[in-house]
Structures are given as structure tokens and as C-alpha cells.
Amino acid sequence: VNNNLRVHVPVMLAEVLDFLAPEPGKIFLDATVGAAQHSGAILKQIIPGGLIAGLDRDSEMLYLARIYLESLDVPSEAWRLFLLSYKDLDKAAEALKIKFDGFDGILFDCGIASLHVDSADRGFSFNKDGPLDFRFNQDQNLDGYKIVNHWPEKELKRIFREYGDERFSGAISRKIGRERKKKKIETTKELADIIKYSIPPKFRFSRKIHPATRVFQAIRMAVNDELATLTEALPKALKSLAVGGVCVVLSYHSGEDRIVKRCFAENAKRSKWDPEFSLLTKKPVYPGEDEVKQTPRARSARLRAIRRLRIENEGDADRGVVYSGVRMP
């Protein structure tokens, strides 16, 4: 790990802790542990007796998480890390092999970690030249190179628009189509330049963000199938909550937020008189101005939270697979 890397600053930490209300003895799941900055703060408040499980689908992030958590003055039994996508969060619950009735809190922090942007070889960044990678999980086959060089222009246009909210999606995808016929597009810098010169000059330099930001985000979301993964994971997360447990999601993109909003609303609405879930945020909560100044990554963050009030389906208790501790041999 390169020591020059900026430490990852956790987004909306105070708000996250407010909603999750960690206390000694509670059991938490951090679905996107990253550099474990949120997890570490939770961990300090759940000892003694508590436990936090952290998932990440990127082994480099887990390595960072481990170094950070080991540096804290907390018992090592109080945390566990798993190389898993959050869509498989039930497997982590199973692997914990403890007796419990669900998580007291679950956190999703869907953004990108500073490490991803800061290390050129992972190919997430247009400021540093690197291969067109964009994968969280290095074992996966689909990467940014395949999308940029082989996906039909029409598909590129769609993902730039849908995942990047890019207004020049047509012009950019056409230019990519032309350029890749001449020569395959190999690096993040080449791609960033192509994007820069496909948008009208007056927008090229006037935007507050680098002209390639939106397209890079879109490619990352497509490579990692981020929206589908979140759609699959959230209902599982809600089912894994204990009564009184809270699920908090930080999202950074309108498509992501829409998925969270819809899933939470559906679950809170299902039974009007005796609801199983209660929305804690009717509207999303945004970071304060000071935080946005200090942590640019927080700029687009939105927080939503929901609490489980009861377990609707008694069959849920039988989710023995999920709560291996409950299903005693």
C-alpha cells in the first residue's frame, strides 16, 4: 500500500452514527467496509460484547480495512472481514456462526473509495494514466477496456446517459466509435482526452467537474453492474435486520438513490396499520456545507434510513440459513 495515498475520509459519519446508534453488545454489518473508517467508528462504540462484520468485493480494500482495524485498541473478536459482494450478505451472516436474531444495524456506503481513484493501476481515474480497468473485483472478466472498445455505440450512449446523466452522451459515444476504429483505446488518459474533445468547446473547460467525470462514473457502474447488485442486495439486507435494527444507505447517484428510495418505500408501506418497517428519512439527508468543502467526494451523497419494527413473516425466523445461530442443529 502506497503511503502517499490520502486516507479515506468517511462521508456523513456523524449522521450515520446517529441513525445506527451503536451501543455495547450490538451486532452490525458494514456491507461496503472499504477503508473501514465508518466501521472503526462503529466498532469503538459496540465494545464490549459487540461485533461488526465488514464486506468488500475488493481484496485490496479488505487489506486496508484490516490494517486500520488492527491499529485500533479493540479486541480482535469484535470484527470480521469477508471478501464478498453485498448481494451475498446472507453468506456472511451464515459464516459468523453466532446466535443472533439479525443485525442491529447495516450500512451501505455505495461510493468509490479514495484508493480506487488514487491508484492509477486500478484504472478508475482520469487524472492519472492507467489501464481501462474499473473492476472492484479483479477476478471478473468484464472490464472498462471491453466496454469502451467493444460495446455498440448505442449501448455506450445509453450507459453514459443513464448512469452518468451525461448530456453529451451521443457525441461522446460517436467519437469513441470513430477513434476505436483507428486504434483501440487503451488508457484512462486516452479516453479522458477523447471525451474532452467530443463535447462542445464552451463546455469543455467551463464545467465545475472534469469533463470525463460522468462518463467514467458510468463505465464504473456498468463494469461492476452496480445498480442491479444494489437492487438485489437491499431486500436481503432488510430481511437480515433484527427487530429495532436500522439500515442506512449512502448513495451518490440518482439511479442508486432511486433504488434505495423505492425499496424502502415499498417495505415501509406494505402494511399500513402494523407496518413491518418505518422510514426514518421521508426525504434524503444531505451532507452539510462544511463537509462538502472538506471532502469533495461527499458532494453528491444522500443518506436514507429505515427501521425494522417487527418480523412480519414468522417464516422469517426460520431463515435458518441466514442466521445459522438460530437454526440449532
Positions that interact with ligand SAM (CB under 6 A): 8, 10, 32, 34-38, 55-58, 61, 85-86, 109, 111-113, 136, 229
Give 236 or 327: the residue with its C-beta nearer to ligand SAM.
Answer: 236
Q: In 188-212, which positions are buried (b, 16+ CB within 10 angstroms) versus exposed (e)?
A: bbbbbbbbbebbeeeeeeeeeeebb
Query: Up-side HSE of residue 51: CA atoms within 13 Å toward CB?
Result: 14
**65 vs 268 by CB, closer to ligand SAM:** 65
In the bound state with ligand SAM, the residue whose beta carbon lies nearer, of 61 and 322, is 61
Rounded to the nearest whole angstrom, what is the least distance from the CB of residue 108 to ligand SAM in the complex? 8
Q: Which residue, 12 or 176, is less far from ligand SAM as judged by CB?
A: 12
Q: Say if residues 66 and 39 touch (Cβ distance below 8 Å).
A: no
Contact 109, 11 (CB under 8 A): yes
Least distance CB 289 / ligand SAM (angstroms)? 21
Our CB check for ligand SAM shows the closer of 9 and 326 to be: 9
Distance of closest approach, residue 49 Cβ to ligand SAM, in angstroms? 23
Number of alpha carbons in the 13 Å side-chain half-sphere of residue 291 = 16
With CB atoms as reference, the residue minimizing the distance to ligand SAM is: 34
CB of 44 to ligand SAM, least distance (A): 13
Within 8 A by CB and 6+ apart from 161, the residues are: 169
What minimum distance in Å lies between the beta carbon of 310 and ligand SAM? Answer: 28
Torsion of CA 183, 185, 186, 190, to 10 degrees: 110
- What's the farthest any 2 CA atoms get from each other in the chain? 68
